[in-house]
Amino acid sequence: MNTVQSQGGTKAPRKVVVPFCCVTTIPGKFTVPGAQVIPPQQQPVPPVPPVVKPQISVAWNSCLNLRLQRQDISVTACNDQAPCGTIPACVTKISGCIQFIASTPVQGNNTSTLQPDGSPQPSSSSVCCKGCVCVDQCVGCQLLQCAQPCPGDLGNFTIEVKNESVCIKTCEPCSGSSAYPTSQMVKFTGNFVITYNPPKTPAPPIPSPCGD
């Protein structure tokens, strides 16, 4: 049995913030423009802030679904909309996962082309990593009459990517590996902001004891 506080059936949109993170490794001689540089742990110096804003791209596939679950809940904050005690309710959840791939430009230390003004342009490519975050968040709770079914309209939701960032950190040399004497860890972070919009249908009548 779940315990909730009655909130009077608000219809305002609700935001759910889901952090994401993924890490990959590149050889030590490459640079990531705009990335914050974090020195190795043995060097007591502060992180180096980025000079330019990093160019970060995030692609994602949403495997999220809205689902309704009828269950008994215990109301602990009573008001004129909900009596105290155990009553039936329809709980709305956003559940599933979000698959994502994050990428940013990376530059080598040699020049391959010239810019329009004749100045050298470093060779460049992109570095990326992938990940998946899980979501199981309650976004609504609708009180019901004793025999009343759950409503058919679940509402809808949107997803945005916010606060993307990338940082690099020099890694310790791998034991027995001579291919890359030094390497760098590239870490992507950010947030998926899920905005849930409740259905605009009227709320059901105030719950009453069965048989009333």
Q: For residues 161 and 193, give the distance between their C-alpha atoms in angstroms, rounded to a whole number.
A: 6
Q: What confidence score (pLDDT) does residue 180 get? A: 56
User: Is the per-residue pLDDT at 129 higher than 70?
Assistant: yes
CB atoms within 10 A of CB 179: 7
Mean pLDDT along residues 122-139: 93
Count the helix, strand and coil residues of the chain and give each as a percent rounded to the nearest 5. Answer: 0, 60, 40
User: Is the per-residue pLDDT at 210 higher than 50?
Assistant: no
Provide the β-strand partners of residue 101. Answer: 59, 130
Q: Name the most confidently modeled range: 7-11, 32-36, 207-211.
A: 32-36
Q: What confidence score (pLDDT) does residue 4 get? A: 43
CA 37 to each of CA 25, 33, 46, 180, 184: distance values in angstroms, whole numbers, following the listed order? 14, 10, 9, 19, 10
> What are the pLDDT digits (tens) for 61-79?
999 999 988 888 777 666 6
More confident residue, 6 or 104: 104
User: Is the per-residue pLDDT at 179 higher than 60?
Assistant: no
CA 79 to each of CA 17, 82, 84, 91, 209: distance values in angstroms, whole numbers, following the listed order? 29, 6, 8, 19, 16
Q: What confidence score (pLDDT) does residue 206 get? A: 45
Q: What residue segments make up the domains of the chain, in order of their start?
A: 8-197
Confidence of residue 196 (pLDDT cuts 50, 70, 90): very high
Q: What confidence score (pLDDT) does residue 134 get? A: 97
User: Is the per-residue pLDDT at 1 higher than 60?
Assistant: no
Mean pLDDT along residues 47-68: 85
Mean pLDDT along residues 54-64: 95
More confident residue, 126 or 4: 126
Mean pLDDT along residues 149-166: 89
User: Is the per-residue pLDDT at 41 higher than 90?
Assistant: no
Confidence of residue 37 (pLDDT cuts 50, 70, 90): confident
Q: For residues 122 and 109, give the distance between their C-alpha atoms in angstroms, rounded to a whole number.
A: 6
Q: What confidence score (pLDDT) does residue 207 get? A: 45
Q: What confidence score (pLDDT) does residue 85 get? A: 74
List all residues 6 or more positions away from 178 whose beta carbon is below 8 Å from its beta carbon: none
User: Is the per-residue pLDDT at 176 higher than 80?
Assistant: no
More confident residue, 199 or 196: 196
Residue 51: HSE in the Cβ half-sphere, 13 Å Cα cutoff: 3
